[in-house]
Amino acid sequence: MKPQLRFKLPLISFRNKPVFFGLKGNAFYGEFDNGKSMFIFHSNVLIAIICLIPFMILFFGERPQHIKNVYTLVQGDVEQLPKGFEFEEYGPNSQKFREDKQAPLAEPEEEPDFLFEEELEAVENELFHQTSYHESKRAQFIKEREKIIYQFKKKYNIWKNEEMSNEMLTAMNKKISQLFIKIILDQSKVEKHVYRFFTDNEELYKIETALMEQAKYHVPASIKLAQSALETGYGKRVINNNFFGIKDKKGNTPLSITTEYYNDHELKRNRRKVISKKKVFKNGKYFWQCRVRDHFISYNTAWESFRDHSRFLLENERYHPLFTGGKNYQAWADKIGSTKYGGVGYATSPLYGKLLKGIIRRYHLDLLDY
């Protein structure tokens, strides 16, 4: 049978002789040395080989890496890392570069910042894209809250909050607290330990108390509740009924271990308190994250801690800028943080304001600011 198709392969030769490729019937063939050497294979075989090529590339090629977190890419061979870097673990499921080899490494620990930092991204992703369900529940709560406030004011013919008696405020705040739990917390995805922290009344009616302190001392209820959650890890670490990490400047209480963030000057000034330190990069700047020993005020009851927090903010001239923005929780959170970012310095953590806003947004605590 004569070839149906025959052509010379360009730029290909064997022993200085041309190589031809052609088609005879249903078979492809190749020949060289004037037809003395030939190989033949059926067209179906060629089609099958061509079809297999993409699958072979996918199977034998470099497989995609599943990234569980941003540090997955550096969890392999340490020798492949840039010279001068080494691992430093900041939490139970995270690793991060550090460049300062001279700084001693502290053992990883679960400090509040890291507990809350892990959920911060989830907060922003979840709440900046709130579902219509969440929006409807927020709207429902606001409507019912305003109805409760109006009914109390009308009943007692008192139209200013500051003129209400303690008994009136207590009764009204109790109803608002119950409404918040029923409409918001009970119908949201709230973790068990968080729900227990806000609703457990064994030590204190936290929501009611925050509402009362808001009326008496003008500290937003959302800020007070978020701070108490952040400072205690949602109640997991409460020392001597101190819910707000207020320090005892007189040194009358036993020493406790906490975490502070210092710059070089602050580290030198507080070196006697420091147990261990490590350099970290947070919020665009480098800091020394230090485990320190310090004194914290001891309270007889949780209520005393909530009341002292209100007085501490209102009576301390350092915190007067907080009250210029009314009950805007975002303004409070932005101002209350580290002095390194223009805050009044309630805490040294560079993430303090962001973490407060994250807690408030996630659990809709801003609905309590009226």
State residue 298's pLDDT score: 97
List pLDDT tens digits, range 227-265: 999 999 999 999 999 999 999 999 999 999 988 999 888
Burial class of residue 261 in the structure, from the number of CB atoms within 10 Å of its CB (0-12 exposed, 13-18 middle, 19+ buried): buried
Domain ranges of the chain: 5-60, 112-247+300-368
CB 173 within 8 A of CB 197: no
The pTM assigned to this predicted structure is 0.67
Number of Cβ atoms within 10 Å of the Cβ of 351: 21
Of the listed ranges 90-94, 134-138, 270-274, the one predicted with least confidence: 90-94
Number of Cβ atoms within 10 Å of the Cβ of 198: 22
Q: Is the pLDDT of residue 297 over 70?
A: yes
pLDDT band at 340 (very low <50, low <70, confident <90, very high): confident
CB 244 within 8 A of CB 305: yes
**Token pair belonging to 27:** 């078979």
Q: Is the pLDDT of residue 59 over 80?
A: no
What's the mean pLDDT in 15-26?
Answer: 67
Helix 206-217 vs helix 221-232: angle between axes, to the nearest 10 degrees?
A: 130
List pLDDT tens digits, range 109-142: 345 555 566 556 555 555 555 567 788 999 999 9
Q: Which fold has domain 112-247+300-368?
A: Lysozyme (1.10.530)
**Token pair belonging to 100:** 């300062």
Q: Which of 20-24, 38-42, 345-349 has the highest mean pLDDT?
A: 345-349
Q: Is the pLDDT of residue 303 over 90?
A: yes
d(CA 126, CA 76): 32
What's the mean pLDDT in 33-43?
Answer: 59
Tell me phi and psi for residue 114, to 5 degrees: -75, -35
Number of Cβ atoms within 10 Å of the Cβ of 161: 16
- SS3 readout for the chain: CCCCEEEEEEEEEECCEEEEEEEECCEEEEEECCCCEEEEEEHHHHHHHHHHHHHHHHHHCCCCCCCCCCCHHHCCCHHHCCCCCEEEEEECCEEEEECCCCCCCCCCCCCHHHHHHHHHHHHHHHHCCCCHHHHHHHHHHHHHHHHHHHHHHHHHCCCCHHHCCHHHHHHHHHHHHHHHHHHHHCCCCCCHHHHHHHHCCCCCCHHHHHHHHHHHHCCCHHHHHHHHHHHHCCCCCCECCECCCCECCCCCCCEEEEEEEECHHHHHHCCCCEEEEEEEEECCEEEEEEEEEEEECCCCCHHHHHHHHHHHHHHCHHHHHHHHHCCCHHHHHHHHCCHHHCCCCCCCCCCHHHHHHHHHHHCCHHHHCC
State residue 66's pLDDT score: 34
**Token pair belonging to 86:** 């080494």
d(CA 129, CA 132): 9
